[in-house]
Every structure is written in structure tokens, then in C-alpha cells.
Structure 1
Amino acid sequence: MPIRLPIATRRFFQMAISPSAPQLTACPDISPYTKLPEVVFVAAGRTPVGSMSGSLKALSATELGAQVVKATIQRSGLKPSDIQEVYMGNVLQANLGQSPARQVALGAGCPESTEATTINKVCASGMKAIILAAQNLQSGNRTIMVAGGMESMSNTPFYLPRGNSFGHFSVSDAIIKDGLWDPYNQIHMGSCAEETALKHSIGRDAQDDYAIESYERAAKAWEAGAFKDEIVPVEIKDKRSDKVTIVSEDEEYKNVKFDKLRTLKPVFKKERGTVTAANASTLNDGASAVVLMTAEEARLRGTKKLAKIISYAEAACAPIDFPIAPTLAIPMALEKAGLEFEDMSKIEINEAFPSSPSPI
């Protein structure tokens, strides 16, 4: 039985197979190395990093995000109405309400027509938000965007199970449940870090040394004013007295007790464990944001460029081996850029645990 095609489909089909029909052009090369529109950063900012239940505890993640996005837009010389879309990374979304990124966009003064999307890729959420924004700009779908990340561990709630009408029940910490728990191996992320340290022979002393050096670098950077251009002071208004407190400096590095750091007991592995509360990253609050444009849009507006994106890469491995994922992604990004590791003048990396950057 012959197949009856719709008229429009029949016409296209006949044209495609007709000897006299014009030849269809081949699809363009869309390999990762194809020249795409250049994306540039025109402004950047971050709040200070607050300790868990510390200086920023009075503000939710979306409130922190709104403050930093508003300030970063101002730094760019743009108006909030110029921002076409906002991507914000956020892992611990419990109790934040609908569409956290949308709350940030409106809280920063963007009009209601501004699109917004919340991104969750755990530790890489903020970076993924930037990558997605860059791709959106490269595709020609947008010309100006904001991307960033935000968390408030201080305001992350506990979970109660539904349906318990009688008897005892357990309470779950959303920080652990949604942020720091490997659902595949049913272990804490710190236990994953212990496995990485064991596989790569990264001992306790080496991890303590790395943690001490990291905190010392942070202290020296603050003393040298290295962060002055990126910090967005956070305003915290007391709801009872209307008193306003300004937080303008990272909190955690000042709390380190170097004399006790090497004496702390392991947290995740009692026998021959190496990860402690001091050499692992701390629980914190904070937010950051960047304003991105196509290079052509920046040229047309006469907007000063801070930097441009040369390449980016992502990689995945077994969940338990997550600390070594950067060792897979970094060579890919360098290859795309045509650069070598030795060409880098400055390197910034997520220091979730010392066993993560150490293999690099």
C-alpha cells in the first residue's frame, strides 16, 4: 500500500530527488574547534565568604545572590534592564522557594521580563552556570547575560519524614542529604576524599601542609589587597532596630588555629584516616556573579572587557573518584586553547579536599 505524504512533505521530497533540483549544501562543521563568537567578561564580583552560622547567616542564598548581582551589574556600567537572562548555580535549594535564580534577578532590579534559570552541578554549579551562559551567547540567542553561584549553608533546613503518625523518627540534614552525600556508594564526600588520598598515596602530613599553605595564601592575599576589586560588601539590616551591618572581609581564614591543625583526629575514617575538619573545606555562605557579553556587543557599547573565554572543558569519572575529575578536564581545556600547563600564570582550583588539587 503506497504511503501518502502531506503535500508540503511530498513537494520537498520530490525536489530533493529530482535531477534538476538544486544540490543541498552540506552541514557546516560544528566540531569543538569551530570558530564561535567570542565571549567576554565585563564585570565580576563576590561577597565575602562567611562561616557557617557566622557573619552572613541572616541572609538567604537568594538574598546574597541578589546583592552581588545588583552590584556586579552596576560595575559593568549597564542597567538591570540590559540583562537578558540570569543563570545562578545553587545546590542547597531547600526552603528557598520557587526558582531561586528568578528571585535573584528580580531582587537585583532586573525587569520581570528577564529570564532566569537555576543550575545544580554540585561543586561546579557556578562554573556550569558560566559555561551555559557562554554557550547561550555563542549560539546567538543572547548578547548580555549574568551568571554566578550562591549558597547559604547557615540557612539550609533539616528534613522530617512525612507520614509518621506515631513513634520515633529520624531527622536528615539537607546539607548532607543534598550536598555532601554520595548516593551511589552511600558515603560522605569526605570518605570519597579518603579513597582518593589512599589511591594516590597522599598522606596526612601532605594534606595538612596543603591546608596550612592555602590559609596562609589567603591571609597574605588579604593583606596585599588582592581581593579589593572583587569583593562586594554585604549589607545586613537588623529587622528590629534597622541597624545596618556591613560585611566586607572573608571570615574563615581568620578562624584557623594553626597550632591545633595537625592534632585533629580524622573525621571520616577512624583507622589511618587523613581527612580532618581542618584540612577539609569548611561550611560557608556566599555568592558571586559575572556579567558576560559577546565581544561584538561589548564593542558596539564601548564596554571595557576584563577577560575573554578561550576554552572550557568538562569531564566525569566514577562518583567515588570525583576529586580527580579536574585532572581529566584540565588537559582537555588546554588542548582546545592550544596551550600547555606551563603557560598558565595563575591557577585557581576548587579545594574541597587537599586530595583534589594534589594530583594535579
Structure 2
Amino acid sequence: GNFKDEIIPMEGYDEDGFLKVFDYDETIRPDTTLESLAALKPAFNPKGGTVTAGTSSQITDGASCMIVMSAQRAKDLGIQPLAVVRAMALAGVDPAIMGYGPVPSTQKVLKRAGLTMDDISHVELNEAFAAQALPVLKDLKLLDKMEEKVNLHGGAIALGHPFGCSGARISGTLLNVMKQNNGTIGIATMCIGLGQGISTVFERV
């Protein structure tokens, strides 16, 4: 499917000890319904809370790799790159404002790259919680453009937040989505704890 270019099939043992090939993401739950999500209890505030297991990303195990090199090195090796990194930026806010770091880091990286959000064809934004992602999308002026450019294959709420993998997963998915939809310039961004945010601008080549 849409993820075949992002997943390397690996052999491993299932919960019953049998050797099998893992070539799909086990995090995705095809039996999820709106009714089952509505029945979940709030995780933090039992009285009126909105954050549930259904509106937060699953914490999962992951492994990932990316090959990053200079343009000259790629030329010397005869490798055709998928994209170039136009700019990167880190920023931070008060840690009490959970998950808001991608806003200043994205604003910073756009300025560094000499771009505006209108120049960006696709965005991959990590979602720790739905309630965290919404203000980020609002302040980046992406709420009315979600269907066309944000997390087209689902974000971390759908796909999980795999330790050891999130940065490469988000970047890899962005490059895959841009390839599938003929996008040119994209942003991968995520909150990374203690008020921090990181954003990277990729351009397909």
C-alpha cells in the first residue's frame, strides 16, 4: 500500500514465539470505530477531560535509518538523492505549554529557508495528542489546508509514536507523500519534550 516504500520487511518472533515476516505496521487498528473511540475514558482529567487513548499517540517500539550525505558525496557514489535539506531549525517555549514547540521552530525554519507556508506542498506534523496538534495547526495557518497538505497518511495518533524511529518515520513519510503527490517542498516537524520543537524543510530533487 502507501507505506511499502517506507517499511523494510524483517523477520522476528511473534507473541507466540513463531518466526514470521513483519512487513506492515501493527499499530494501525482497522476495527476502530467512532463509537469505540467515544466510549474511551479520559486519561488525565476524569471529569470533563478530552484526552483519551483514542486522541493520543500510541507509544511503540521502532527502528529506523536514514542515509544523509553531501551532494558531492552522492555524486561521487552515483547515488540519486530523494531530496535535499533546505534548512533546519530548533526552538523552545515554556515547557508548561506542552507540544507547542513546532510553531516557533517552523516559523524559524521558513524564515531561514526564505519561504512562506504557501510555498510548502506537504507537512508531516507529529501528534502527541489531538488537543496538542490543533493549536499548532491553527497558529501555523494550516487548519483549513489539512486535507490537502497535512499528514495525508495519518499522523502519530493513527501510526504511533515509535521510540527510536519518530524523526526518520516523519521525514520518510513526508518524502513518500511528496513523491506520491508530486510535491516539491515539504516540512517535517515535531515536538521533542521540555517545550522544544524541531522543523526541517526538504526539497525533492
Normalised by the length of structure 1, the TM-score is: 0.35
CA positional deviation for 1:357? 2.1
Is 1:271 the counterpart of 2:47? The answer is yes
Counterpart Cα distance in 1 of 2:19 and 2:36? 35
Is 1:327 the counterpart of 2:103? The answer is yes
| Contact 1:280-1:353 at 8 Å conserved across structures | yes
Is 1:306 the counterpart of 2:82? The answer is yes
Q: Which ranges in structure 1 are unaligned for 5 or more consecutive residues?
A: 1-224
Counterpart Cα distance in 2 of 1:297 and 1:257? 46
1:268 partner letter: F
1:350 partner letter: N
| Contact 1:323-1:355 at 8 Å conserved across structures | no
Aligned residue number for residue 350 of structure 1 = 126
CA positional deviation for 1:263? 2.3
Counterpart Cα distance in 2 of 1:347 and 1:301? 30
2:101 partner letter: A
Q: Deviations over 1:67-95 (max 9, x none)?
A: xxxxxxxxxxxxxxxxxxxxxxxxxxxxx
> SS of the residue aligned with 1:293?
coil
Counterpart Cα distance in 2 of 1:275 and 1:328? 24
| Contact 1:313-1:329 at 8 Å conserved across structures | yes
**Which structure has the higher relative contact order (CA within 8 Å, separation 6+)?**
2
Counterpart Cα distance in 2 of 1:323 and 1:291? 28
Counterpart Cα distance in 2 of 1:260 and 1:227? 26
> SS of the residue aligned with 1:269?
coil
Q: Deviations over 1:96-142 (max 9, x none)?
A: xxxxxxxxxxxxxxxxxxxxxxxxxxxxxxxxxxxxxxxxxxxxxxx
Larger radius of gyration: 1
Aligned residue number for residue 32 of structure 2 = 257
Counterpart Cα distance in 2 of 1:255 and 1:278? 13
Q: Which ranges in structure 2 are unaligned for 5 or more consecutive residues?
A: 138-205
Counterpart Cα distance in 2 of 1:346 and 1:283? 25
Counterpart Cα distance in 2 of 1:318 and 1:235? 43
> SS of the residue aligned with 1:305?
coil
Structure that is richer in strand per residue: 2
> SS of the residue aligned with 1:267?
coil
CA positional deviation for 1:311? 0.5
> SS of the residue aligned with 2:97?
helix
Is 1:230 the counterpart of 2:3? The answer is no
CA positional deviation for 1:320? 1.8
CA positional deviation for 1:255? 5.2
> SS of the residue aligned with 2:96?
helix
Matches within 5 A, 1:4-83: none
Aligned residue number for residue 20 of structure 2 = 245
CA positional deviation for 1:293? 0.8
Counterpart Cα distance in 1 of 2:59 and 2:53? 10
Normalised by the length of structure 2, the TM-score is: 0.60
Query: CA-atom RMSD, angstroms?
Result: 2.0
CA positional deviation for 1:355? 2.1
Aligned residue number for residue 163 of structure 2 = none
CA positional deviation for 1:256? 5.2
